[in-house]
Amino acid sequence: MMSNLTANRPFFSFSDYLRKRYGERIYRVGVDAGFSCPHRKDTYGGCAFCDAAGSRAPYLDVAKGLKEQIDRTIIFLKKRYNATGFFLYFQANTNTYAPANRLRELYDYALSLASFKGLIVSTRPDCLDDKKTSLLADYKKQGYEVWVELGLQSMHDKTLARINRGHDRACWEEAIHRLGNAGIYRAAHLIAGLPGEDLSDFLASVNYVAKTGTEAVKLHDLHLPLGSALYKEFLHGELSLLSRQRYIDYVIAAIEHMPKDMILMRYSTDTTYARRGYPHKYIPKQAFIVMMERKLKSLGTYQGRLWKGGERNTLLSDFINK
């Protein structure tokens, strides 16, 4: 049986969860605070799937534009969707890559610019120490709903080394448990079609993330931005990618194998055409969701149908199961 939070859909979306919790549609206001990435500094070179845009100007320069970004986005959302509920989303790059006191200044300033119900911070597991976790927990105490998105991409250490991720599975798991102990909701990023991985490898990552108690997951197809290391491999004929149809099959399988209480925050990647090396085209997010839902219904399947892990104990269990 599916959760009553799914609005009769065969999967549990983040929008369905937020609507149930707040009684209205909640919109994310994504901002680029100018953070860079510690993994791109010195000789590390960054992840193999990341392009030069993964490293922005110093955050102090771009942060001056936070008000303009927030104002512009909220005006658009109100005009286009009559939106009234918002989460602030620090989205670009590694959004804990600064001293905790500087992060507090940035977060406080951005949150003061509108009436936000929640805060979402996207970062790396190796850039989240106790001080930064405690800082994020403070915003929950202030009444914000706080989420941290942690990039994992794959549970397989061999793959993480292959894509030059810069951390191993144990590092990610430690960060996930640290956040959970602080009462902060967690989302994992996973990429389908990574070099050397097949469907069984991808499903193993989905199963692993679910068993850690992580509340949500973002699924991405492997795409190759211009300038990324993997794009250079592709140009030399050393790498192949999933077709769009095969990727949909991967997502359907992931949905079947994940627990019914795990929130799907995202289903596909939509890198802009100007940055995209290959594939040149992608399925727009809304069109992808429609295709995914139709296929799930045509197959008579749904989220959690093949989940074997039993009941989970997550930070949202009481809310979801009530």
Strands 85-90 and 26-31: parallel
Residue 318: Cβ-neighbour burial (10 angstroms; 0-12, 13-18, 19+): exposed
pTM for the model stands at 0.91
Reported as a single tens digit per residue, the pLDDT across 284-298 is 888 889 999 999 999
State the Cα–Cα distance between residues 215 and 199, nearest whole angstrom.
22
Is the Cβ–Cβ distance between 51 and 40 less than 8 Å? Answer: no
Q: Domain extents for the chain? A: 14-321
pLDDT > 60? residue 247: yes
In the chain, what percentage of residues exceed pLDDT 70? 89
Q: What are phi and psi of 88, to 5 degrees?
A: -85, 130
Q: Kindly state the average pLDDT of the residues 30-35.
A: 87
pLDDT > 60? residue 61: no
State the Cα–Cα distance between residues 29 and 83, nearest whole angstrom.
11
Residues 6+ apart with CB under 8 A from 269: 220, 221, 223, 282
State the Cα–Cα distance between residues 141 and 154, nearest whole angstrom.
32
- The CATH class of 14-321 is alpha beta
State the Cα–Cα distance between residues 226 and 240, nearest whole angstrom.
16
Reported as a single tens digit per residue, the pLDDT across 87-117 is 999 988 889 989 999 999 999 999 999 999 9
Cis peptide before 279 (omega within 30 of 0): yes
